């Protein structure tokens, strides 16, 4: 049971008032009737100083809401009845869920079990995020344990809000304690508590980087060779530190005469900002064969005419360790008309030493899958749809999948209306005065992935006249040579 008191004050000349549940006749939602108001659950009564609302919510669930329309009626004065209507929303909330407090340091989330390493003479910041899963809950920082005597600050701590992100700022210097504990305690508006704490230490030791010894690769030409290697780093505080090198593993290293020597420099930085360095050498004495990269994925398109469709693609590229870039030839070429039989495109690259690399991908051209309009319209192109001059026509169709915005645009902007003769359904000699030009209706196009069906609600109001006949023509950009026509007879 939930009870809510609403205080009421009235002018002296109105010596009494009454509180009632004000459920209007034909109780309904915003767009359609939703049933009978549950008066068995909700009561409104008059008490000293105001109105008392009672909600018997035993059969309800967490986060359910109950609208309560309240009418306050004062005793008649000078022949007039005075009343005020209020709309109250009651909601069931969970008062057992405490606020959650999380923290990030250096752009990464931290856990309460982490040992955070602060850097000397640097403004170290830790951002706390305080939230509460309860709808309508507010949170604030009740207390915090920070090295405030050494200049550490935490702000903001309030005022209460749906979420709060206080930031700890601490610049440790020589002479500060080397270790400590940071704790933040947060409360919500139901006095439930959430906490977050972690230990910290002051870090000024860089990570240690382990690099391989000299890496020797064989080369027979001027282009170089690919070198694979592993570099790791460890830190006395951070569990994981990732090193970076000015050459990545798998990079191509140049070759000189007679050999090329490259120094690879690596660095690793811990969360405290301490950076360690190390280096090793790569000596190139060998070469690799040409390599094709960027092979297109298999391509599927919808045919645009009886022959199929023109398909364009970006050919792959190739490089040779000795000759550098190598031309790639693909057959059939980009821009060729592909028929409705799946076609394998073969791309080859040949270097100066007749070494040939080959790659393939598939091109499939599908025929347009339009099979007619869907109910409530007839799927037959000869059917005449009887409509009113103010009707909105729900036009539905499927083309076998989601092709995005498939309405033709530009000079073929569709759909468009044409006034026609009601017997021959021809527009020849028919006056088109008053027929609106087509407009871009792309924002009204909807697609339902469950039924794989498009829908466009076309409004006739202001566009057609009773006793006339029209055709509504659609053209889709996946099969732009085909017109799909709906015959409309306006009553």
Are 81 and 135 in the same domain? no
Are 15 and 28 in the same domain? yes
Q: How far apart are CA 155 and CA 201, in angstroms?
A: 22
Are 383 and 476 in the same domain? yes
> Residue 314: its pLDDT value, please?
97
Estimate to the nearest angstrom the gap between the alpha carbon of 38 and the chain centroid: 39
Q: Could you report the per-residue pLDDT of 108-144, keeping only the tens digit for each? A: 999 999 989 888 888 999 999 999 887 778 899 999 9
Domain range for 43 is 2-91
> Residue 259: its pLDDT value, please?
60
Check if the beta carbon of residue 490 is closer than 8 Å to that of residue 388: yes
On the question of pLDDT at 367 being above 50, the answer is: yes
Q: Which of 336, 366, 396 is the last residue of a domain?
A: 366
Q: Which of 152, 185, 203 is the last residue of a domain?
A: 203
Q: Could you report the per-residue pLDDT of 257-289, keeping only the tens digit for each? A: 556 799 999 999 987 678 999 999 999 875 667
Are 193 and 122 in the same domain? yes
> Residue 205: its pLDDT value, please?
83
Mean pLDDT of the 383-401 span: 91
Q: Which of 257, 285, 313 is the last residue of a domain?
A: 285
Number of domains forming the structure of the chain: 5
CATH, residue 317:
2.60.40.10
Percentage of the chain beyond pLDDT 90 is 58
Check if the beta carbon of residue 50 is closer than 8 Å to that of residue 7: yes
3-state secondary structure the chain: CEEEEEECCCCCCCCCEEEEECCCCCCECCCCECCCCCCCCEEEEEECCEEEEEECCCCCCCCCEEEEEEEEEEEEECCEEEEEEEEEEEECCCCCCCCEEEEEECCEEECCCCEEEEECCCCEEEEEEEECCCCCCCEEEEEEECCHHHCCEEECCCCCECEECCEEEECCCCCCCCEEEEEEEEEECCCCEEEEEEEEEEECCCCEEECCCCEEEECCCCCCEEECCCCEEECCCCCCCCCEECCCCCEEECCCCCCEEEEEEEEEECCCCCEEEEEEEEEEECCCCCEEECCCCCEEEECCECCEEEECCCCCEEEECCCEEECEEEECCCCEEECCCCEEEEEEEECCCCCEEEEEEEEEEECCCCCCEECCCCCCCCCEEEECCCCEEEEEECCCCCCCCCECCHHHCCCEEEEECCCCCCCCCCCCCCCCCCCCCHHHCEEECCCCEEEEEEECCCCCCCCCEEEEEEEECCCCCCEEEEEEEEC
Least-confidence region, from 28-37, 130-139, 172-181: 28-37
Mean pLDDT of the 187-215 span: 91
Beta partners for residue 483, in sequence order: 475
Q: How confident is the model at residue 474 (pLDDT cuts 50, 70, 90)?
A: very high
Mean pLDDT of the 392-406 span: 85
Q: How confident is the model at residue 30 (pLDDT cuts 50, 70, 90)?
A: very low
Are 349 and 307 in the same domain? yes
Are 135 and 113 in the same domain? yes
On the question of pLDDT at 212 being above 60, the answer is: yes
CATH, residue 221:
2.60.40
> Which pTM value belongs to this model?
0.32
Are 379 and 361 in the same domain? no
Are 399 and 455 in the same domain? yes
* Mean pLDDT for the chain overall: 88
Are 105 and 81 in the same domain? no
Are 133 and 66 in the same domain? no
More confident residue, 75 or 152: 152
On the question of pLDDT at 177 being above 60, the answer is: yes
More confident residue, 237 or 347: 347
Least-confidence region, from 108-112, 223-227, 231-235, 280-284: 223-227
CATH, residue 183:
2.60.40.3170
Q: Could you report the per-residue pLDDT of 413-445, keeping only the tens digit for each? A: 889 999 999 999 999 999 999 999 999 998 999
Are 377 and 457 in the same domain? yes
Q: How confident is the model at residue 34 (pLDDT cuts 50, 70, 90)?
A: low
Q: How confident is the model at residue 468 (pLDDT cuts 50, 70, 90)?
A: very high
Are 87 and 178 in the same domain? no
On the question of pLDDT at 63 being above 90, the answer is: no
């Amino acid at each position: 049971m939930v009870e809510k008191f609403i205080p009421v004050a009235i002018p002296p000349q109105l010596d009494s008032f009454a509180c009632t549940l004000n459920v209007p006749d034909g109780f309904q939602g915003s767009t359609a009737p939703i049933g009978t108001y549950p008066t068995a659950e909700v009561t409104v009564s008059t008490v000293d100083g105001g109105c008392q609302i009672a909600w018997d919510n035993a059969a309800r669930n967490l986060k359910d809401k109950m609208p309560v329309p309240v009418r306050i009626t004062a005793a008649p004065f000078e022949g007039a009845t005075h009343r005020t209507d209020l709309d109250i929303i009651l909601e069931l909330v969970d008062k057992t869920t405490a606020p959650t407090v999380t923290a990030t340091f250096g752009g990464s989330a931290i856990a309460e079990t982490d040992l955070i390493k602060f850097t000397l003479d640097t403004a170290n910041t830790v951002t706390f995020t305080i939230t509460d899963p309860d709808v309508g809950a507010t949170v604030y920082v009740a207390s915090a344990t920070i090295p405030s005597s050494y200049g550490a600050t935490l702000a903001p701590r309030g005022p209460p809000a749906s979420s709060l992100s206080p930031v700890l700022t601490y610049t440790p210097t020589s002479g500060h304690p080397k270790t400590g504990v940071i704790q933040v305690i947060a409360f919500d508006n139901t006095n439930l508590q959430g906490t977050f704490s972690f230990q910290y230490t002051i870090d000024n030791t860089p990570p240690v980087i382990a690099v391989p010894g000299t890496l020797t690769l064989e080369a027979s030409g001027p282009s170089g060779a690919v070198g694979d290697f592993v570099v790791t780093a460890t830190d006395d505080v951070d569990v994981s530190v990732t090193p970076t090198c000015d050459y990545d593993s798998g990079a191509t290293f140049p070759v000189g005469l007679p050999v090329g020597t490259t120094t690879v420099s690596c660095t690793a930085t811990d969360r405290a900002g301490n950076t360690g360095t190390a280096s090793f050498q790569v000596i190139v004495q060998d070469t690799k064969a040409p390599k094709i990269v960027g092979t297109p994925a298999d391509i599927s398109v919808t045919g645009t005419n009886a022959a199929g469709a023109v398909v364009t693609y970006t050919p792959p590229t190739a490089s040779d360790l000795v000759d550098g870039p190598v031309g790639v030839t693909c057959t059939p070429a980009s821009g060729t008309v592909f028929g409705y039989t799946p076609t394998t495109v073969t791309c080859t690259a040949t270097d100066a030493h007749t070494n040939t690399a080959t790659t393939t991908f598939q091109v499939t051209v599908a025929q347009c899958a339009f099979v007619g309009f869907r109910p409530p319209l007839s799927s037959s192109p000869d059917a005449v749809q009887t409509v009113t001059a103010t009707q909105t026509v729900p036009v539905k169709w499927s083309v076998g999948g989601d092709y995005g915005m498939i309405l033709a645009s530009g000079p073929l902007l569709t759909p468009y209306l044409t006034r026609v003769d009601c017997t021959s359904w021809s527009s020849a000699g028919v006056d088109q005065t008053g027929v609106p030009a087509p407009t871009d209706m792309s924002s009204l196009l909807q697609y339902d992935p469950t039924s794989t069906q498009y829908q466009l609600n076309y409004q006739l109001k202001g566009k057609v006249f009773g006793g006339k006949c029209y055709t509504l023509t659609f053209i889709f950009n996946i099969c732009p040579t085909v017109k799909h026509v709906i015959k409309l007879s306006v009553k």
